[in-house]
Amino acid sequence: MQPANHNVIQQGGTPIRLWTQGVPVDEKAHDQLIKASKMPFIYKWLSVMPDVHVGIGATIGSVIPTKEAIIPSAVGVDIGCGMMAVQTTLNANDLPDNLHGLRCELEKAIPHGRSKSRGRGSNRDKGAWSKPTDTVLDGWKTLTDDFNLLCEKHPRLKNTNNLNHLGTLGTGNHFVEICLDEHQQVWIMLHSGSRGVGNAIGRYFIELAREDMRKWFINLPDKDLAYFPEGTQHFDDYWFAVGWAQRFAFKNREIMMENAIKALREVINKPFDAKVKAVNCHHNYVAKEEHYGEEVFVTRKGAVRAKVGEYGIIPGSMGAKSFIVRGKGNEESFCSCSHGAGRVLSRTEAKKRFTVADQIAQTEGVECRKDAEVIDEIPSAYKDIEAVMHAQRDLVEVVHTLRQVVCVKG
């Protein structure tokens, strides 16, 4: 018997299961899901999370299980993007009354954003290390050997912003936050991925997949659904590369978290334990998993793994709640849940529709940027996080509810 809170549709391909009751799904995302469902190697069905919205190649908020093939654009170019959160022993009363200094300390500790200036000597990525720290160099040592192997086969990947981006935030919806839970305990939460090198790996292999499709005269419902069949050289190379980028992303978040904790210690003199609880999870990645007795590749594009008892993080937008969750192991979703609220407006549309005054009003009580450059991240550009959580109530249970008091955006 079908659970009450998810729907099943089928229009010429494998079934699509949608945990979207009570949240909007735009027509373009719906069409994109239909195209993906027609790929011949989809295993059983696609699972769609309530934060679903249109993406490149594959829909963001989708779980794509496949047999003997991987679609690189379904993983995307922000390979290994995900979340990390730690609970501290501090409470709200330990934070300074004015949080601006704490935001500045976080901004100083973690490179972020991109330089707007294009003048001589300043045309560089502001969100990169001018000189990597010892912590970054130590982290890079764990990644160096496999990166060199990758570059021996694919030299174009060598000249990427790899070492200088390790331990950095990036732009867009990547963030570092100081949050309070339902007991007023202080948490540090951040969102980022594999940065420039992951982007380069993603774009490079997506183009290789398109070239393979042209070479083999394979017609696709969408060119961005180009794939690598298992057993081919490009499949093996991509599997190695994407695995490396996911490790880079995981290490990137660990280094940023260490630096965020140091920033908090600079502002708060009181001794505290910084890792009472810690969660570090991807939400743009591919993994080999067993489902229904078979080994399959599961690509989660904007989705978090939620096996029984497994912890995950579902952030809301700036000014909205976020959640630390525990998985229920729902097999029909391939043990997955949403990765956030999900956009309802594009960045361009959000900037057309809202003003700085709107941004100030909607982020009241949060120490964060409130200028024209971050209007695309205004809470109204996202779905209602409460509705998103209700739609996936059979996928996860809420362990902690967080509200941000400081937010650093790229």
Per-residue pLDDT of the chain in tens (410 residues, 90 and over written 9): 344 579 999 998 999 999 999 998 999 999 999 999 999 999 999 999 999 999 987 899 999 999 999 999 999 999 999 999 999 999 999 999 999 999 999 999 999 986 444 333 333 467 889 889 999 999 999 999 999 999 999 999 999 999 999 999 998 889 999 999 999 999 999 999 999 999 999 999 999 999 999 999 999 999 999 999 999 999 999 999 999 999 999 999 999 999 999 999 999 999 999 989 999 999 999 999 999 999 999 999 999 999 999 999 999 988 889 999 999 999 999 999 999 999 989 889 999 999 999 999 999 999 999 999 899 999 999 999 999 999 999 999 999 999 999 999 87
Token code pair at residue 135: 């912590």
Token code pair at residue 289: 């998993």
DSSP state of 79: T
Q: Across the chain, which distance is largest between two alpha carbons, in Å?
A: 66
- At residue 343's C-alpha, the angle toward residues 341 and 180, to 5°, is 35
Catalytic residue among 6, 53, 112, 339: 339
pLDDT at 58: 86
pLDDT at 113: 83
DSSP state of 331: G
Q: Helix, strand, or coil here: 342?
A: coil
Nearest Cα to Cα of residue 391 among 339, 318, 315, 337: 337
Alpha carbon separation from 228 to 68, 69, 220, 268 (Å, rounded): 9, 6, 13, 51
If phi > 0 it is left, if psi is from -120 to 50 it is alpha, else beta; for residue 235 that is alpha
Phi, psi values for residue 311, rounded to 5°:
-85, 145
C-beta neighbour count of 68 within 10 angstroms: 15
Token code pair at residue 396: 């996860």
Identify each DSSP E strand in 339-388 by its residue range: none
Query: Which residues have C-beta within 8 Å of that of residue 153, sequence separation ≥ 6?
Result: 237
Domain residue spans of the chain: 7-344+382-409
Q: Which element (helix H / strand E) includes 291?
A: strand 284-291
pLDDT at 20: 96
Active site residue 339: yes
pLDDT at 121: 35
Tell me the pTM.
0.94
Q: What is the number of helices (H) and of strands (E) in the chain?
A: 10, 17
Secondary-structure class of domain 7-344+382-409 per CATH: alpha beta
pLDDT at 1: 38
Query: Which residues have C-beta within 8 Å of that of residue 69, sequence separation ≥ 6?
Result: 39, 41, 227, 228, 229, 230, 235, 297
Query: Distance (Å, rounded) from C-alpha 232 to C-alpha 235?
Result: 5
